[in-house]
Structure 1
Amino acid sequence: MKILLASLLVLLASLSGLSQTLRPDLHKPDLWEINNRKVETFTDGDKKAVRFDVAEEEGFMLLKDYTFSEGTIEFDAKGKNVLQQSFVGITFYVQDFKTNDVVYFRPFNFMNPDTVRRPRSVQYVSMPNYPWEKLRADSPGKYENRVNPVPNPDGWFHAKITVIGKSIKVYVNNSPKPSLEVETLGKFTSGKIGFWAGPMSDPSFANLEITPEK
C-alpha cells in the first residue's frame, strides 16, 4: 500500500510540472470574440477551419477568457498569392484592438522573384508604437525575414511561434531553424491571444494549439 501511494505521489508530482496544451475549437463561436470581420467555419480535409472575410482594416478573432503570457503557439494558416492582399497572422499580448503584438506572414512574398520583397515574408510588430513602417525604416531587415522552407503561397502552411521572456522565434513547416528571431518591443507581457487578418486580407486558420511555458 505504501509503495502504491508513493508511486501515485511521484506520478502526480510529474504531471503537475507539465504544461497543458490548449486546443480551442474554432467552430464554437461562443469561445471567440470577433472584431471588424465576419468569420465563416468550414472543413478542409481533416482541418476544422475558419475563414475571414475582406475588410479595409485589420480584423481579430480572439480567444475569450484566456490570458497568454509565454509559451508556444502553433497553427495552420492559408493566404493567397495576391500582392498586398494577404496578411496572415497571430496576435498576442492584446490589450485592445489598437494595442497588441503581431507576428504575421505575407504569402505573396514567399516565392516572389523580387529579391527585395522575398525577405519581407514574415514580420513582427508591436502596436501602436512599432508598426512595420517604423521598424523597416529604423531597423531594416531586423524585424522581418524570408521564410524557410518556402511554403506554397496559395496553400496551407504550419507556423510555430515561441514566446519566452523577451524572445520570439518563428518556425515554418516544422523547420528546426527559425525564419525570424527577435525580441519583444512592447511594454506588456500578457494579454489576450488570437488570429489576425491584415487589411484587404481573407486568411484561413486551423489547428490552434497554445502550450504555456512551465
Structure 2
Amino acid sequence: MLTFAAGLSVTSRAGGQNQAISPDLVKLADSKSFKVFNRNVSSLSDKGKKGVHLDESPGDGVAYLEGIEFGNGTIEFDVRGKDVPQQSFVGLAFHGLDGTTYDAIYFRPFNFRAEDPARRIRAVQYISHPTYTWQKLRAEQPGRYEQPVNPVPDPNDWFHVRVVVASPQVRVFVNEGKEPSLVVNQLSDRKKGRVGLWVGNNSSGDFANLRIVPA
C-alpha cells in the first residue's frame, strides 16, 4: 500500500508497475511537511546535491515522509555524516509507527576507516526500537546486526545507500558495492509502516536523492 503527499514525484517503471517515489526533500523541508520527532529539518544545497539537514540534539531523531506506507521494496538515498567519534549516526527508519517505534539501518562514519578493527566491524547497524537497541543486540548477539562496510566511503563525504527489504530479510548496499555490507532478518513483527530519515544521539546528518521503489 502506498499513498502520496505533496512534494512527492511518482514515476512508473515498464508496464506501469512498481511506481518509484522520488520525494522533493527541499520542498518538503521548506513547507514543513515532514513529521519530525526530536529534530529540526532544513533544506540544503551542497556539492550539486539538494536535500535536507537534520540538526544535532540529544537522543535519536527521525523525520518521516507523510503519506507513504512502505512494506517491501528498495529505498535508496545519499547521506553524509562526519568522522567524529560518537557524534555521527546517520541512516533510515522504516516500518515506523512514531518517534520511538521503528526498524532502522544506520551508519557510524567515524568507524569506516578506524585503525582499531573492533571499531571497523561496527560501521553499519540494524536496530528495531523500542525493544532491540544496539546495546541489547551487541550484548546478546555480537557481530550479527552490525558489520563493516564495503566499499569503504570517505567518512566526511556523501555516500550512497541502497536498502532492500523483502520481509523479514533486509540487505544493505553501500555505493557501487555488488555484495551487501549487511544482511539481517527483521526482529519486529511489523510488515509495513512509515519511512523516515534517521539520526542518532547527539548526531546531525545530511540526506539527498531519496528514492523508494515498492516491490
Instruction: Please report the TM-score for the alignment, with normalisation by the length of structure 1.
Output: 0.90
* 1:138 positional shift: 1.1
The aligned runs of 1:83-122 (5 Å cut-off) are 83-122=85-124
> In 1, Cα distance between the equivalents of 2:186 and 2:210?
22
Moved over 3 A (4+): none
Structure 1 residues 55-85: Cα deviation after superposition (integer angstroms, max 9, x where no partner): 0011111000110101000000000000000
Equivalent-residue separation in structure 2 for 1:119 and 1:45 (angstroms): 29
Shift, 1:137, TM fit? 1.0
What is aligned with 2:140? 138
CA deviation map 1:92-150 (0-9, x unaligned)? 01111111001000000000001111000000000111111111111110000000000
Q: Distance in 1 between matches of 2:102 and 2:63?
A: 13
1:26 aligns with 2:25: yes
Distance 1:165 1:188 in 2: 9
For residue 140 of structure 1, what is the amino acid of its counterpart?
Answer: P
The SS at the match of 1:28 is helix
The aligned residue for residue 4 of structure 1 is none
The residue number in structure 2 matching 1:43 is 45
When the two chains are superposed, the root-mean-square deviation of aligned CA atoms in Å is 1.0
Name stretches of at least 5 consecutive residues in structure 2 with no aligned partner: 1-13
Three-state SS of the structure 2 residue aligned to 1:108 is helix
3-state DSSP class of the match of 2:91? strand
- Distance, in Å, in 2 between the alignment partners of 1:172 and 1:100 is 22
CA distance in structure 2 between the partners assigned to 1:47 and 1:33 by the alignment = 22
Q: Supply the distance in 1 between the matched residues of 2:156 and 2:211 (Cα, whole angstroms).
A: 22
- 1:47 & 1:82 partners in 2: Cα distance? 22
2:29 counterpart of 1:15: no
In 1, distance between residues paired with 2:156 and 2:99?
Answer: 28
Measured after TM superposition, the shift of residue 36 of structure 1 is 1.1
Distance 1:82 1:46 in 2: 24
Cα distance in 1 for residues equivalent to 2:176 and 2:18? 20
Determine the C-alpha separation between the residues in 2 that align with 1:57 and 1:156.
23
For structure 1, the residue ranges without an aligned partner over 5 or more in a row are: 1-13
Three-state SS of the structure 1 residue aligned to 2:51 is strand
Shift of 1:25: 0.6
How many angstroms does 1:26 deviate by?
Answer: 0.4
The normalised TM-score by structure 2 is: 0.90
Which one of the candidate residues 174, 188, 191 is aligned to 1:189?
A: 191
